[in-house]
């Protein structure tokens, strides 16, 4: 049995009512004056009075920080294995010059910084010699409060970086390095906690895409297409990579660092075009889909 609240004109009448209801061995929990009367809260003998409930936290304001954070979490998409916090211990970004590797590295770091449970991002920008000027990665990393690690790496020597710690993710941007043999890059990523990604911009000629994808067949685990906001992906962008067994897993577009990456629910592999999923922001499955030649007209 729980507690009983009794009110009377004075304490004598209140105690008599407690004895009548609960007996002479009743436990008095509290006594106070309430609206000109005496209020007694009592519990039966042998019972334990429940502790007062803890005060409930106030509801977050819709326009406050907590309310905005709750709305943002509710809208956040489920991340696949190509976005934090599921990134491997080391991600090596390879691809043609100007393909957006530095921007992709910054975006991955930004996603890791704001993703609960994600490993701490470590930006790595190897350089061939000490006189190499800092690139875009070093300048914009300050916006995230990060300082890229810029080790000197001779293309003929071993990779000058230790294995990543358990609580970190190394994001390696090779924009400052000369073209490297894909087999060397495969050695860097030949670890259970490492991956080699091929970063390609949309809008390239299919023959050029084929030449870029061929050396990475069997080495790259994912293909990332950038600049999708300027030139939506088409079948001409996708087919050369699929012919070499390279799955498309991530789309990047826009000018900012946040909310600029779209992970496909399932990597696009060598499947018929009619069975491929719709791409966000693209008319990939539309009958009016332009081909590569239509872009130049």
What pLDDT digit, counting tens, does each position of 46-69 carry?
655 455 555 655 555 555 655 555
**pTM score, whole prediction:** 0.64
Q: Is residue 36 part of a domain?
A: yes
In this model, does residue 296 exceed pLDDT 80?
no
- Among 69-83, 133-147, 195-209, the range scoring the smallest mean pLDDT is 69-83
Verify that 129 and 269 share a domain, yes or no: yes
Domain that holds residue 199: 77-281
Our separate counts of H helices and E strands in the chain read 8, 10
Instruction: List the structure tokens of 269.
Output: 């592999």
Verify that 34 and 151 share a domain, yes or no: no
In this model, does residue 210 exceed pLDDT 90?
yes
In this model, does residue 292 exceed pLDDT 60?
no
- Which H or E run includes 13? helix 11-22
In this model, does residue 73 exceed pLDDT 50?
no
Q: What DSSP letter does each residue of 90-155 carry, written as one string?
A: EEEEE-STTSSHHHHHHHHHHHHHHSTTPPEEEEE--BSSTTPPP-HHHHHHGGGT---B--B--T
Q: Could you tell me which residue, 287 or 252, shows the higher pLDDT?
A: 252
Q: Is residue 160 part of a domain?
A: yes
What is the pLDDT, as a whole number, of residue 269? Answer: 65
Pairing state between β 90-94 and 27-34: unpaired
Q: What is the pLDDT of residues 120-139, one digit of tens each?
A: 999 999 998 888 888 888 88
What is the pLDDT, as a whole number, of residue 72? Answer: 52
Q: CA torsion 116→120→125→129, rounded to 10°?
A: 170
Verify that 24 and 145 share a domain, yes or no: no
Q: Is residue 262 part of a domain?
A: yes
What is the pLDDT, as a whole number, of residue 45? Answer: 75
Section 174-187 average pLDDT? 84
What is the pLDDT, as a whole number, of residue 199? Answer: 96
What is the pLDDT, as a whole number, of residue 295? Answer: 43
- Among 31-45, 143-157, 183-197, the range scoring the smallest mean pLDDT is 183-197
In this model, does residue 224 exceed pLDDT 90?
yes
pLDDT confidence bin for 187, thresholds 50/70/90: confident
Verify that 117 and 173 share a domain, yes or no: yes
Number of domains making up the chain: 2
First to last CA, the chain: 84
């Amino acid at each position: 049995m729980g507690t009983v609240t009794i009110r009377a004109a004075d304490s004598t009448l209140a105690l008599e009512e407690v004895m009548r209801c609960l007996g002479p061995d009743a436990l008095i929990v509290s006594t106070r004056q309430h609206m000109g009367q005496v209020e007694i809260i009592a519990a039966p003998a042998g019972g334990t009075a429940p502790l007062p409930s803890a005060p409930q936290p106030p509801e977050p304001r819709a326009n406050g920080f907590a309310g905005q954070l709750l709305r943002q979490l509710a809208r956040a998409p489920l991340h696949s294995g190509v976005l934090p916090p599921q990134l491997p211990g080391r991600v090596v970004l390879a691809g043609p010059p100007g393909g957006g590797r530095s921007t992709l590295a910054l975006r991955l770091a930004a996603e890791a910084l704001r993703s609960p449970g994600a490993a701490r991002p470590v930006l790595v920008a190897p350089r061939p010699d000490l006189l190499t000027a800092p690139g875009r990665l070093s300048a914009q990393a300050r916006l995230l409060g990060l300082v890229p690690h810029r080790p000197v790496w001779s293309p003929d020597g071993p990779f000058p970086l230790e294995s990543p710690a358990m609580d970190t993710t190394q994001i390696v941007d090779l924009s400052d390095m000369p073209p490297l043999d894909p087999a060397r890059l495969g050695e860097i990523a030949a670890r259970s906690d490492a991956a080699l990604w091929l970063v390609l911009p949309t809008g390239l000629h299919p023959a050029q895409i084929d030449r870029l994808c061929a050396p990475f067949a069997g080495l790259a685990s994912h293909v990332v297409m950038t600049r999708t906001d300027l030139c939506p992906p088409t079948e001409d962008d996708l087919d050369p990579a699929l012919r070499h067994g390279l799955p498309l897993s991530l789309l990047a577009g826009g000018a900012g660092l946040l909310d600029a990456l779209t992970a496909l629910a399932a990597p696009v592999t060598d499947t018929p075009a009619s069975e491929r999923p719709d791409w966000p922001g693209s008319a990939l499955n539309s009958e009016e889909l332009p081909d590569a030649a239509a872009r130049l007209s």
